[in-house]
Amino acid sequence: MELNILVILIMSGLAWERHLQLELPQTLFAACGAILFLISDALLAWNRFRMKFKSAQFLIMGTYYVAQWALAMSLGQPNVYYLS
């Protein structure tokens, strides 16, 4: 479990560093998706190894699916509009 958290922490850090360098909407989606994966995994670990809580299923799956969506959105091409 520790390796899983370490990998997600590294992914989150790299995603935010990339966003701070480029400041594109895609990199913001990637950074938010990475953070949501970190939150989802932390909730899962808390619920499984510390203390079970009633809304665990909703919160874990909610953050997981929004993270998936954000990462998928990060793969899109930027919309560039030119005024003529």
Listed residue (18, 24, 19, 16) closest to 78, CA to CA: 24
Q: How many whole angstroms separate alpha carbon 44 and alpha carbon 23?
A: 31
Name the token pair of 79. 């919309």
Opening angle at CA 33, ends 52 and 41, nearest 5 = 25
pLDDT tens for each residue of the chain, 84 residues long: 578 888 889 999 999 999 999 989 899 999 999 999 999 999 999 999 999 999 999 999 999 999 999 999 999 876 655 555
